């Protein structure tokens, strides 16, 4: 064991001891919402700065969560309630004796209130990016939902809606309705509306009033103008994840009330389990018990906090470790760019340097113009010291002193801490760090940076970055570019459009284009950095062909940076840059482009890159995510690529997908995902994501499946149909919907341990299929799904195992003994490819199948699942269960044959008319013939 490993182990023990014994408040640091004694602590609600100040908004938020607390307490059988909540007031609102923020910020909020409407319109919704039973990211409410009381008719009371969304966010359950598949055919060959529980009743309604279901369902599709309206009075008590708006609904669906046949996301994502089963298995319920007695819990307490002046302090390492691998130079370059371009106007900035002790290089200066920025750059440390010792705590304490000069406290301040060394005493200042009220973003430089550095970010809710010792890595500037003020005002934040670094041979060039889209363009800057003395030759061309040359850039020879600031609003379109390496040796040339929003009414596209967990152990993969949005609309059809850089070894590029397969939970929700498991070494890994979008394809999503509260169009009360006012439709301009763009964002860092030194056996199975669908066409069933890979979602698997059953329980609980479908002619395709397979189930459906309880029951449906096998016989988990109806329901047969029946009726009527006419003609002929015969006979008699 090395000295570094021993030091890290000792420090880890100290940290654990502190967390357990030194201060109870440390138990809940950096972990967001915590459950303690049945009550949730630390729930944070943040109001977007774009929301206009309204005196009713805060009381309505309080009323909503208070109602939700009691509703949740009863729904969870006296298990949980909300104890204390913080509401983050925008700095744009007038000060009203609100408390000052500590580590709270907009990005850390569990609940966000905004004026920007998303792909759900005004529906309250939750951003869920992980699978069943996993926490989501944020709950979103619009200010209209919170202020317009008329909307409660369609959504139900706000407290009930909050509990619906809380279950999404906290426990990872999904919606039990499905707007895309509003009905299905059950095992008894009956048409049923998708709902949970199935005891909720209502009727079909056409344009002119109630109508039979035959008039609404044609060829198994809903007829336009038809809908299913529920009775306002119901006998069932579930389910909150279906229609929380019904007054009788006070529970989640459990195993006895859950509708397993309904084609909804809950069944698809959670393997047919009820929402209550999933909730009961959560860590919240594993560590809590129902409260005794009959008394209700106390109502929640609320505290209102508001950010004051923005305060940032750079805490920069100047120890001798920084002399290695150009670390100090890269720190200077990134800090200069941050001060000149990234940090927002009116921010107070101070600078501290440290080795064995901290030194204040400058007290706080407010940035009001370019001269203020240049002044701060002049205070950056100019050289490394001869001391190798690194005292991170000393640097931070000096940083806190700087921040306290403004208001007597460091509350709400931000520390950007850069280090490449080890501090064995980092645990000594953990309590001080937390109580400072400051958020610490950490940047680890090289493989020698302290193993416990990230604990400072974890305790304060800060970001974590890693910069490898590679000359062509731009990770240092990417990290500084990612750090914003945390106010949530994307219109003021710096947007990174480009980040490229390459080792360029002598007399060769680095050439590329970058898109400046029409949603950005203000305060646009091009930064070029290099290694050796003397800048490269630089030529920059705007979309109209105007050229900027080396002489147009502001060059800092000492820091080896060149910056070109574009006055006004940069022209939208393709900008081309060419860097010629005129030096006699190969050197790393790097380009960074940033800009800000061009218009206040149109939010620019943004990308938020992150990983599921900060650390993992081999062989468990890391889940990588990129949330791509314009405002709250998801951006679809983008090309999203992640670059992962380990401490040593070459970077790995990985394309992310939004296809609802593999690591991606929901298709077309703007969250692009992928498994990463190409672990070359132990240690830290840096993540960066590039997003490219073509101007020729559709950009914004119009609707999303699942994860939002359903707006009920109306109810049936006392036999009368009472429709609610339709929600207003918020149209978007064609300009908003289309247009290419490019974005880059650092996703921070993560660490990996337990990676074998040499080659290791195959330990990665194919990933689970989560998008299996089945459709019956005549006598055959066609299956479709996205192909997994040989290893998770990469490569090409070896074979598929498809099984079917007429019993839903059989295939779910005993997949291995379900009927095996012949797949000898089915060869897996490359991961990510759409697979289609057709088979005839008639050989297996002639006889009733034995049910789990020993009884036989004729079923008109089949249930199918799939498992993937790789070349080493490693098997994936069993897929979601798809289902298909074998027969057309009797009551829908006339509906399906409606046109035929009409034609048949017409022909029959025509036939009857023909027969009648023929009968008349024949009768007329016979009578006339008889009349003539009678006349002849009478004539003879007369003669």
Cβ neighbors of 894 (< 8 A, separation 6 or more) are 214, 901
Question: Who has greater pLDDT, 933 or 160?
Answer: 160
- Of the pLDDT bands very low, low, confident and very high (cuts 50, 70, 90), residue 888 is low
Phi, psi for residue 827 in degrees, rounded to 5? -110, 125
Give the N- to C-terminal CA distance of the chain in Å, as an integer: 146
User: pLDDT per residue over 130-166, tens digit each?
Assistant: 999 999 999 999 999 999 999 899 999 999 999 999 9
Both tokens assigned to 155? 């959504």
Residue in 596, 729, 736, 749 with CA at minimum distance from that of residue 683: 749
Has residue 887 got a pLDDT over 90?
no
pTM of this prediction? 0.89
Q: What is the pLDDT of residue 847?
A: 43
| pLDDT the model gives residue 913 | 45
Contact call for residues 218 and 254 (beta carbons, < 8 A): no
Question: What local confidence, expressed as pLDDT, does residue 678 receive?
Answer: 93
Is the Cβ–Cβ distance between 451 and 11 less than 8 Å? yes
Give residue 784's pLDDT band: very low, low, confident or very high (50, 70, 90): very high
Residues with catalytic annotation? 165
**Do the Cβ atoms of 631 and 116 come closer than 8 Å?**
yes
- Confidence label for 115 from pLDDT (cuts 50, 70 and 90): confident
Q: What is the pLDDT of residues 627-656, one digit of tens each?
A: 999 888 899 999 999 999 999 899 999 999
pLDDT of residue 355: 97
* Confidence at residue 706, expressed as pLDDT on a 0 to 100 scale: 52
The residue that leads in pLDDT, 13 or 859, is: 859
Which of the four pLDDT bands, split at 50, 70 and 90, describes residue 908? very low
Q: What is the phi/psi pair of residue 397, to 5°?
A: -60, -40
Average pLDDT over residues 319-335: 96
The mean of the pLDDT values for the chain is 87
Residue 845 has pLDDT above 80, yes or no: no
User: Which has more confidence, 225 or 607?
Assistant: 607
Answer yes or no: is pLDDT of 19 > 70. no
pLDDT at 205: 85
Question: What is the predicted pLDDT for the residue at 119?
Answer: 60
Q: What pLDDT is stored for residue 470 in this prediction?
A: 94
Measured in residues, the chain has a length of 943
| The predicted structure's pLDDT at residue 326 | 94
CATH number belonging to the domain at 761-847+858-908, selected among 3.10.620.30, 3.20.190.10, 3.40.50.2300, 2.60.40.10: 2.60.40.10
Task: Return the closest-CA partner of residue 189 out of 886, 898, 863.
Answer: 886
**Whether the predicted pLDDT of 34 surpasses 50:** yes
For the segment 705-717, the average pLDDT, to the nearest whole number, is 82
Neighbour-count burial of 575, counting CB atoms closer than 10 A to its CB (0-12 exposed, 13-18 middle, 19+ buried):
buried
Contact 723, 763 (CB under 8 A): no
Q: Over 90: is that where the pLDDT of 625 sits?
A: yes
Distance of CA 33 to the CA centre of its chain: 19
Within 37-142, strands assigned E span: 39-41, 43-47, 81-82, 84-89, 99-100, 111-114, 125-126, 139-142
How far does Cα 97 stand from its chain's mean position?
35
Task: Check whether 850 has a pLDDT greater than 80.
Answer: no
Q: Is the pLDDT of residue 939 over 90?
A: no
Quote the pLDDT of residue 259: 94
Q: Could you tell me where in the chain the CATH 3.40.50.410 domains are found?
A: 309-486
- 401-405, 744-748, 793-797, 925-929: which range is least confident on average? 925-929
Going by C-alpha positions, the residue among 75, 104, 82 that lies closest to residue 91 is 104
- Report CA-CA distances (Å) from 534 to 93, 329, 539: 49, 15, 15
Does the pLDDT of residue 731 top 70, yes or no? no
Contacts of 153 (CB under 8 A, 6+ apart): 724, 725
Taking residue 389's Cβ as centre, other Cβ atoms within 10 Å add up to 17
Percent of the chain with pLDDT over 90: 71
For residue 717, what is the enclosing H or E element?
strand 714-717
Q: Looking at residues 833-843, what average pLDDT do you find?
A: 90
Percent pLDDT > 70 in the chain is 85
> Which is more confidently placed, 922 or 880?
880
Chain region(s) in the chain for CATH 2.60.40.10: 761-847+858-908
Strand partners of residue 301: 84
DSSP secondary structure string for all residues of 79-98: --EE-EEEEEE-TTSPP-SP
Q: Which of 629, 611, 525 is nearest to 570 (CA)?
A: 525
Give the mean model confidence (pLDDT) for residues 385-398: 96
Is the distance from CB of 566 to CB of 546 less than 8 angstroms?
no
State the pLDDT at residue 907: 35
CATH class of the 309-486 domain in this structure: alpha beta
The predicted pLDDT at position 842 comes to 77
pLDDT at 723: 87
pLDDT, position 211: 80
Write the pLDDT tens digit of every residue in 456-485: 999 999 999 999 999 999 999 999 999 987
Lowest average pLDDT, out of 155-169, 208-222, 480-494, 803-817, goes to: 208-222
**Residue 218: what pLDDT?**
59
Per residue in 230-248, pLDDT tens? 999 999 999 999 999 999 9
CA atoms within 13 A on the CB side of 463: 28
Confidence check: pLDDT of 350 > 90 = yes
Higher pLDDT, 714 or 932: 714
């Amino acid at each position: 064991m090395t000295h570094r490993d021993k030091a890290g182990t000792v420090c880890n023990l100290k940290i654990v001891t502190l967390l357990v014994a030194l201060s109870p408040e440390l138990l809940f640091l950096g972990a967001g919402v915590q459950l303690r004694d049945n009550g949730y602590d630390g729930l944070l609600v943040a109001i977007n700065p774009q929301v206009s100040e309204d005196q009713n908004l805060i009381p309505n938020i309080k009323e909503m969560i208070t109602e939700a607390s009691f509703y949740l307490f009863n729904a969870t059988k006296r298990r949980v309630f909300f104890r204390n909540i913080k509401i983050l007031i925008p700095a744009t609102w007038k000060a009203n004796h609100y408390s000052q923020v500590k580590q709270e910020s907009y990005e850390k909020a569990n609940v966000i209130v905004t004026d920007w409407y998303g792909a759900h319109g005004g529906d309250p919704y939750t951003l869920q990016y992980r699978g069943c039973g996993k926490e989501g990211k944020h709950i979103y409410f619009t200010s209209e939902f919170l202020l317009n009381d008329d909307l409660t008719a369609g959504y139900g009371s706000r407290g009930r809606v909050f509990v619906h969304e809380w279950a999404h966010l906290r426990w990872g359950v999904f919606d039990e309705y499905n707007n895309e598949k509003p009905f299905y055919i059950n095992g008894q060959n009956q048409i049923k509306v998708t709902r949970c529980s199935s005891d909720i009743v209502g009727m079909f309604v056409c344009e002119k009033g109630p109508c039979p279901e035959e008039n609404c369902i044609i060829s198994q599709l809903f007829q336009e103008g038809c809908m299913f309206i529920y009775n306002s009075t119901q006998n069932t008590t579930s389910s909150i994840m279906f229609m929380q708006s019904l007054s009788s609904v006070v529970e989640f669906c459990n195993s006895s009330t859950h509708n397993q046949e309904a084609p909804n996301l809950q069944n698809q994502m959670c393997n047919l389990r009820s929402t209550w089963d999933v909730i009961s298995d959560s860590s919240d319920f594993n560590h809590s018990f129902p409260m005794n007695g009959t008394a209700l819990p106390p109502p929640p307490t609320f505290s209102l906090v508001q950010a004051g002046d923005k305060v940032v302090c750079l805490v920069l390492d100047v120890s001798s470790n920084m002399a290695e691998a150009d670390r100090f130079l890269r720190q200077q370059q990134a800090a200069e760019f941050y001060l000149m371009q990234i940090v927002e106007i009116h921010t107070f900035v101070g600078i501290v340097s440290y080795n064995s002790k901290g030194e204040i290089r400058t007290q706080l200066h407010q940035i009001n113009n370019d001269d203020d920025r240049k002044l701060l750059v002049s205070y950056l440390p100019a050289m490394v010291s001869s001391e190798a010792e690194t005292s991170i705590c000393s640097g931070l304490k000096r940083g806190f002193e700087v921040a306290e000069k403004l208001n007597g406290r460091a509350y709400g301040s931000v520390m950007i801490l850069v280090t490449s060394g080890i501090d064995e005493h980092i645990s000594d200042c953990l309590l001080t760090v937390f109580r400072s009220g400051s958020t610490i973003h950490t940047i680890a430089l090289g493989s020698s940076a302290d193993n416990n550095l990230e604990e400072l970010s974890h305790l304060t809710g800060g970001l974590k970055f890693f910069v490898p010792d590679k000359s062509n890595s731009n990770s240092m500037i990417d990290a500084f570019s990612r750090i914003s003020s945390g106010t949530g005002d994307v219109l003021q934040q710096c947007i990174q459009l480009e980040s490229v670094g390459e080792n360029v041979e002598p007399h060769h060039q680095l050439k590329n284009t970058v898109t400046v889209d029409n949603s950005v363009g203000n305060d646009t800057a091009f930064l070029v950095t290099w290694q050796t003395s003397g800048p490269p030759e630089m030529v920059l061309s705007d979309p109209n062909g105007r050229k900027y040359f080396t002489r147009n850039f502001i060059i800092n020879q000492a820091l080896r940076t060149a910056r070109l600031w574009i006055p006004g609003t940069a022209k939208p379109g393709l900008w081309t840059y060419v860097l010629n390496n005129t030096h006699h040796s190969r050197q790393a040339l790097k380009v960074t482009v940033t800009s800000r929003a061009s218009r206040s009414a149109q939010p620019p596209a943004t990308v938020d890159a992150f990983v599921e967990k900060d650390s993992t152990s081999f062989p468990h993969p890391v889940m990588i995510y990129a949330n791509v949005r314009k405002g709250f609309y998801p951006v679809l059809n983008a090309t999203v690529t992640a670059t992962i850089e380990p401490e040593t070894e070459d970077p790995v590029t990985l394309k992310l997908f939004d296809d609802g397969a593999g690591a991606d939970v929901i298709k077309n929700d703007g969250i692009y995902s992928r498994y990463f498991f190409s672990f070359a070494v132990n240690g830290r890994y840096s993540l960066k994501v590039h997003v490219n979008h073509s101007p020729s394809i559709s950009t914004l999503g119009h609707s999303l499946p699942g994860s939002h509260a359903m707006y009920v169009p109306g109810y049936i009360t006392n036999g009368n149909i009472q429709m609610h006012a339709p929600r207003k439709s918020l149209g978007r301009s064609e300009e908003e919907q289309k247009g290419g763009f490019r974005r880059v964002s650092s996703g921070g860092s993560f660490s990996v341990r337990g990676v074998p030194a040499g080659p290791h056996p195959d330990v990665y199975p194919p990933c689970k299929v989560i998008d299996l669908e089945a459709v019956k066409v005549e006598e055959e069933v066609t299956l479709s799904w996205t192909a997994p890979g040989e290893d998770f979602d990469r490569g090409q698997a070896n074979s598929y195992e498809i099984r079917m059953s007429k019993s839903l329980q059989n295939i779910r609980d005993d997949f291995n003994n379900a009927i095996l479908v012949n797949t000898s002619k089915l060869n897996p395709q490359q991961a990510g490819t759409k697979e289609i397979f057709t088979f005839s189930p008639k050989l297996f459906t002639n006889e009733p199948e034995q049910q789990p309880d020993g009884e036989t029951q004729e079923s008109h449906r089949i249930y199918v699942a799939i498992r993937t096998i790789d070349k080493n016989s490693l098997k994936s988990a069993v897929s979601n269960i798809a289902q298909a109806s074998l027969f057309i329901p009797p009551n829908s047969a006339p509906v399906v044959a409606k046109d035929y029946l009409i034609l048949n009726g017409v022909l029959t009527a025509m036939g009857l008319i023909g027969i009648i006419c023929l009968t008349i003609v024949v009768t007329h002929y016979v009578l006339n013939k008889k009349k003539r015969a009678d006349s002849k006979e009478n004539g003879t008699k007369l003669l």
